[in-house]
Structure 1
């Protein structure tokens, strides 16, 4: 009776305990759920804050860089060296580059020069458009969306900006949850710069917006719990705002990122709730099963104790399952045989559950099983009750995993071993991560130990908190710990160093300074770079640049010597060119005049010989000067749009007459792609083609063949290769001499009786030009069979449609006599050389122009001030006052801007022509002056004078 009552009481107590445990687990699970939810929400708030701050700061820096680039472009336009061609070619390229560097920011750029206005824009298809514009650009200025620049000389530039579109593109790289949004707040305007999953408009509550705007007004960033309405439904979320400025364009803007709170608690937390619910059901089932078992076995105390033990074991299992993930539970008896194992064993070990149990039968031959049983035996010998170790295991699919085994060894009341309860988990990912961390730390430690540089780490106030110094340097060792940067710097270097430290900390950029230390071993130079390590720490890296300083000093001395030699050579070449071109001016000028007179057949032949000899001599001079400019690095590549095929056909046309005389067949093979528009320096390409085709015709015997082929090969994007080949059936070149062909002044046949004349500079110049244009010249030849010269240069395809080429306004005419009546001009000739003066008199008389003469620059200045002229032919080098100084004085005089001045000089270097134009000259003619060139210039400036009057 008492036993039954005790059993009934035990039953009631056990039932109550079970219910209590269920309620306790439920309470713990709910608390754990809310703890995880709060932690996740806090983590997302921090992440959202960082994203918003990074987006705002980076956008502010991008606008600042844009303003600097825009100012640099305006400075470029103010350059006094720029001429009309620079504005036509370089200005669109510079503006296009600016637009490409800031996609979506610049809508339109207006540039207002004193005499003209142009605008530049990019279409939706990314086509770049440049057109003249009649309106006044200042009227296009819009507050908060324009950038305007001007100067007193009348130059204006206006950038019409699209800040909303640019901001929207910019923030696409900043991740946000699917249910989040991105906004700009400018004044009272809230702008969606998505893309956002909220496809319908949202309305924040007025009190939330008021709080945000108040914080922005005083420059505070903030994070807020907000409520908004969408499609009539209320939503709660977290919003972060970070104030910033669009540079000098727009101030007091703010970046707003927000996410929905409910979205943060979905996903893994819903999964957790389902798992927790299943766990509760399992626990309830276990308790019910226990109660039923207890109710059915009340007659025996032994059965009650046994059932209680099973309940205890099951409860322990649940606790282990809650603590461990990605694992399985197992039980084994005192003989090491597996009695139970959870179904997850197959997923972890890759073997069926049945195979796992069979593997632990007595007399197992499996190595892993024997090792585990030895570990258990050793633990029993050591009186251990718990096993905890890691083990490498190779699955049947040869995948190696890392296992963690935790086992509780079970003993009865008498201390006898009854078996074990354990859990095996796959910790491969954690193990690999820890190993990678160890290896990364080892690599970093190895790098630091082998870096010769000196590393210091500071707090934001400049206090040294860590260091790495390999070389022993007084003051830069362990004694520096705890000291401030200002205490470690000599007085004469303190201000510059501390300024670099503060700038690096405030701007987040690397700042460099150089320091000189006087050590017992001598002077040493160091380059110090300061930069932020994180929000709370700064770092400096000091590099020993003593050897670099020594090398730089030697390099400067060597460069000075080289510059001096180059200057001496340039002066010699300039003087040589001037002295040779002065008599050549008279020779070729007289020839041009003689050609226009009545001559006998013999006289014409003699004159043709003299003319060809003079042109050959002029070509030799030009080759020498070209090679000198290339060697000095003073040659420029100036690309312009054209069709390569048409340029080739023009050059080949030059040689048809000579080829016909030698009965040489001149063939051309041009691909259809070569008729497209490409950007390149065709003046230089034509110079190479003329050289190669000219050589081929010259060295090909009578009745031979010269073939010229051209093709275009696509590389990538708008980049192409122009491939040109010139093949002849000429005399050929010995193989051992081919590498020397491009050497300056090299002649295959160098004897005094050689058959073919030339300077030996043509191929040397061609090779240099090709290399400057990103290409390569190749030569193959066999003696007696002919030669093949091929080259390739880089081209850029022109995507925009181009207008027809501007045709020369000068009509081709055979007879220039008397053109002064058709195009009258009042001319002053300033020339001191009697031979040149006599030649110019003859030329102007032939053309029908009356003129007056000044024998030096001072006389020319006086005559211009006291007489009215339309045009001055001004020699550059004259006594008393040279032509450049006279031109400057004329341009400084009021009402002289419409007087045209053409410079005359035997100096042909680019810098000489540049100096002439900088002095105020309108154009430049190099000696020897040809009659046709002079006539075309006079006609051109007559038309310019007429346009000024109109």
Structure 2
């Protein structure tokens, strides 16, 4: 009987061993599948992103060529530098690069010795390698770039750092062919069965990744393994390519087999020893039973005492004899295992083959064979109700004085909650380990004194490798950076907050910059993450230089526009001023018509100058918004009234559709909104033929609380716009009909300015049009509704006044006119005389200063640009003179930029008039100054 039991146990161990082997083998193979899939996907996605980046860099060379500011020297030097940078950034990708200029061509290539050469192109260049792809880029002005690319070599170089097993392999699948990507031909070419190859090709065509268990033929013969393919595109160069990574199944399982077979034989030997020991133990069983009975009473008392504790520990106590039969078990067994007490006792009968019973017996035999006095193990137990629990068994073995085994006393506890917590902790640690292994940052873990106790370094950096273990933080960085680094480390330890420092390492390959973050890992450990920011530093340096260049260009442009504005507006001041004066004289009908033509032409020219300056201010980011309180609906109606005359002249129906919500009080820059409306409505009337229709719609939509969207739409039944021209309508100076004989005149800046203004106000300009049916322009801007303010009707007497002659009698002022330009001086004299004001003249800023100090003037009309001393300097001197605080000074200038007006006000001027100065504007300013003077006196 004993011999049969021993044979049975041996066979059972063999069966369990085989099952255990296959379970481990399957688990290992599944793990390698997941790893291989992740590696393949990461390599393919990163490679695809690298090729997209290459296409952007290739287009960057084309953009460089079409720069109109480049000269011949730039093409010779900077083109070579830019081209070499692209070639170096993508090793082994670019074989040859041709650049076709309008009148010549050159080519660039890298020799076998890595020498970068540039030569004129005089004929067909024969390839030095095979299997090339080409990328051709060309511009409208005759430039063309052709890249001859070696995708296979680049891919081989790119995936070299992706680790597989020693016998793993990497291949590239293009156009039904496999390319060996393993370095130095480490893995020979392989061939798959036709069926497997068709399956792989089908998945690639549909853009599906795949994992396959298959066999193939190589020089070593037939092999089996796991292959993962991940499809991707080489940008626009080539689509439907795929990376294939594989490992051999034999490699995965061979290590398990070698390890497991040794363990298997050891278990067999232990089992045989246990059987021998078991036979010997049976002979002494009767004596043991007697000793057991003697100790039963003592054990029973101890058993009862333990029950109280077991209720808190979720466990039960049991006792068994030397034959393995349970002689006593506490009542808690049913609560813990879900098994009635009687069934539990029957399960441990000497002939029982219940799996859990056999497992416990094996543990007992194993411990008896090693002469230990206790057993401790854990295992998963499935209750009859299907619930799986984790139990821990601790058993004290009882021996007679002569060493004979008498039985054991055990405690079984439910540790499911503790086990699940520990598993979560292990999973968390595993996830952290995976994260650490996959992030590119350099990781160090220190004790609180700064000594390195662990590290993770993927890139080979001298001094930052396994040799760093045990070293102090003070020796990991150059001497000139130690103090600041140690200070940051101590602050992070003291306050528990992340401290960041930037460090530079001078490596043999060149300088590298790192951003290092120090923070506490727990009470006893510190951690640092060092991120390589070398590329970022280079980019920031280039960005700073570009910003400086852009600022210098913007300043030069602003200065040019300011000078041009002044030079153009100075004669315009005389022209339009004289027109205003002439308009108030007695003219016959023909003269009035001529004057009207001159006035309209001058106004059109002034509008063109204003558009150019407006766009320049927007482009330079110097256009500011000046919010005011107003009623959007009333503002729209005021603007539409301007166009009623033109609409009637062309027999066009001009309608408005205004929602109720638009009649409230809102805060926004109505001047800018009106500027956009005037542009859109003016264009609609211009391009709408006789008897057409233009509809302007407005409504307000609440977003949140007082924040609203103001929606405006201008729809016409005009000639329409071709669809291909719509995206370019808002480009500066763009005109659909650009010939010299075009039907509709204009600068092409109106819509560009409108779009910029709308975007500045948080909105978007949309354009829809159909040729022959009409166009629809719509935009929306953000504005705030004033929930508290009440509308007040403000009457401005200056707006109601139509005849300004004799203004000096109603609003008398003593005026000093400071002006050096003869034309402007003559114009200002005529205007002031018509308004019937007395005035004196100063021809420069110094003269104005002296006359202001000596005379008793109410107002100085001060030209900004004058000889000897300009108007700004003169104003500052006047303000510094005691007693001149109440003297009003109004600046006169052709400069219209906001910064010019700000400079004038900062110098001490009270207000500012821009040239050309119109009679109405001057009259309104004089009336305003008089009223301010009256308030001072009261």
TM-score, scaled relative to structure 2 = 0.60
**Is the alpha carbon distance of 1:876 and 1:460 closer, same or farther for their aligned partners in structure 2, counting shifts above 3 Å?**
farther
User: What's the counterpart of residue 356 of structure 2?
Assistant: 372
Say which of 654, 657, 662 aligns to 1:669. Answer: 657
Q: Could you tell me how far apart the structure 2 residues matched to 1:418 and 1:718 are?
A: 85
User: What's the counterpart of residue 941 of structure 1?
Assistant: 929
Which string of whole-angstrom CA distances, capped at 9 and with x for unpartnered residues, describes residues 641-673 of structure 1?
A: 444333333323332332233333222223333
User: What's the counterpart of residue 561 of structure 1?
Assistant: 549
Q: Report the CA distance between 1:494 and its aligned residue.
A: 5.4
**Is the alpha carbon distance of 1:529 and 1:410 closer, same or farther for their aligned partners in structure 2, counting shifts above 3 Å?**
closer
Which string of whole-angstrom CA distances, capped at 9 and with x for unpartnered residues, describes residues 622-652 of structure 1?
A: 1111111212222223444444333333323
Which string of whole-angstrom CA distances, capped at 9 and with x for unpartnered residues, describes residues 167-206 of structure 1?
A: xxxxxxxxxxxxxxxxxxxxxxxxxxxxxxxxxxxxxxxx
**Is the alpha carbon distance of 1:712 and 1:425 closer, same or farther for their aligned partners in structure 2, counting shifts above 3 Å?**
farther
User: What's the counterpart of residue 777 of structure 1?
Assistant: 765
Q: Report the CA distance between 1:422 and its aligned residue.
A: 5.8
**Is the alpha carbon distance of 1:412 and 1:430 closer, same or farther for their aligned partners in structure 2, counting shifts above 3 Å?**
closer
**Is the alpha carbon distance of 1:639 and 1:402 closer, same or farther for their aligned partners in structure 2, counting shifts above 3 Å?**
farther
Say which of 852, 877, 902 aligns to 1:864. Answer: 852
User: What's the counterpart of residue 583 of structure 1?
Assistant: 571
Q: Report the CA distance between 1:769 and its aligned residue.
A: 1.7
Describe the SS at the equivalent of 2:840.
strand
Contact 2:319 2:407 in 1 (8 A): no
**Is the alpha carbon distance of 1:641 and 1:496 closer, same or farther for their aligned partners in structure 2, counting shifts above 3 Å?**
farther
Contact 1:779 1:790 in 2 (8 A): yes
Which string of whole-angstrom CA distances, capped at 9 and with x for unpartnered residues, describes residues 861-896 of structure 1?
A: 221122121111111111222212222222222222
Contact 1:818 1:847 in 2 (8 A): yes
Q: Tell whether 2:311 aligns with 1:321.
A: yes
Q: Report the CA distance between 1:312 and its aligned residue.
A: 5.0
Describe the SS at the equivalent of 1:757.
coil
Deviates more, 1:837-846 or 1:549-558: 549-558
User: What's the counterpart of residue 737 of structure 2?
Assistant: 749
User: What's the counterpart of residue 288 of structure 2?
Assistant: none
Matches within 5 A, 1:884-923: 884-923=872-911
Q: Report the CA distance between 1:598 and its aligned residue.
A: 2.9
Say which of 880, 888, 902 aligns to 2:868. Answer: 880
User: What's the counterpart of residue 377 of structure 2?
Assistant: 388
Q: Report the CA distance between 1:512 and its aligned residue.
A: 4.4
Say which of 908, 920, 936 aligns to 1:932. Answer: 920
Describe the SS at the equivalent of 1:929.
coil
User: What's the counterpart of residue 647 of structure 2?
Assistant: 659
**Is the alpha carbon distance of 1:312 and 1:880 closer, same or farther for their aligned partners in structure 2, counting shifts above 3 Å?**
closer
Matches within 5 A, 1:330-729: 370-379=354-363, 381-382=365-366, 386=375, 388-391=377-380, 393=382, 401-406=388-393, 423=412, 425=414, 427=416, 429-456=417-444, 468-474=456-462, 476=464, 492-493=480-481, 497=485, 510-530=498-518, 540-716=528-704, 718-729=706-717
Q: Could you tell me how far apart the structure 2 residues matched to 1:509 and 1:865 are?
A: 65
Deviates more, 1:492-501 or 1:596-605: 492-501
Say which of 834, 839, 847 aligns to 2:835. Answer: 847
Q: Tell me the matched-pair count.
A: 638
**Is the alpha carbon distance of 1:538 and 1:319 closer, same or farther for their aligned partners in structure 2, counting shifts above 3 Å?**
closer
Please provide the CA RMSD for this pair.
4.1
Which string of whole-angstrom CA distances, capped at 9 and with x for unpartnered residues, describes residues 84-128 of structure 1?
A: xxxxxxxxxxxxxxxxxxxxxxxxxxxxxxxxxxxxxxxxxxxxx
Contact 1:338 1:357 in 2 (8 A): no
Q: Report the CA distance between 1:341 and its aligned residue.
A: 8.4
Which string of whole-angstrom CA distances, capped at 9 and with x for unpartnered residues, describes residues 599-628 of structure 1?
A: 333333332222222111111111111111
Describe the SS at the equivalent of 2:800.
coil
Describe the SS at the equivalent of 1:702.
coil
Which string of whole-angstrom CA distances, capped at 9 and with x for unpartnered residues, describes residues 27-85 of structure 1?
A: xxxxxxxxxxxxxxxxxxxxxxxxxxxxxxxxxxxxxxxxxxxxxxxxxxxxxxxxxxx
User: What's the counterpart of residue 108 of structure 1?
Assistant: none
Which string of whole-angstrom CA distances, capped at 9 and with x for unpartnered residues, describes residues 433-488 of structure 1?
A: 32232232233333334444445566777666665555455555566667666666
**Is the alpha carbon distance of 1:942 and 1:494 closer, same or farther for their aligned partners in structure 2, counting shifts above 3 Å?**
farther
Contact 1:735 1:782 in 2 (8 A): yes
Contact 1:677 1:798 in 2 (8 A): yes
**Is the alpha carbon distance of 1:923 and 1:624 closer, same or farther for their aligned partners in structure 2, counting shifts above 3 Å?**
same
Say which of 727, 739, 749 aligns to 1:761. Answer: 749
Contact 1:861 1:890 in 2 (8 A): yes
Q: Report the CA distance between 1:731 and its aligned residue.
A: 1.5
Matches within 5 A, 1:152-163: none
Structure 1: gaps (5+ residues): 1-301
**Is the alpha carbon distance of 1:394 and 1:362 closer, same or farther for their aligned partners in structure 2, counting shifts above 3 Å?**
closer
Q: Could you tell me how far apart the structure 1 residues matched to 2:803 and 2:561 are?
A: 36
**Is the alpha carbon distance of 1:623 and 1:370 closer, same or farther for their aligned partners in structure 2, counting shifts above 3 Å?**
farther
Contact 1:395 1:401 in 2 (8 A): no
Q: Report the CA distance between 1:836 and its aligned residue.
A: 0.9
Which string of whole-angstrom CA distances, capped at 9 and with x for unpartnered residues, describes residues 358-386 of structure 1?
A: 8998899xxxx954244235345546675
Contact 2:326 2:348 in 1 (8 A): no
User: What's the counterpart of residue 249 of structure 2?
Assistant: none
Describe the SS at the equivalent of 1:755.
coil
Contact 2:684 2:716 in 1 (8 A): yes
Matches within 5 A, 1:128-277: none
TM-score, scaled relative to structure 1 = 0.60
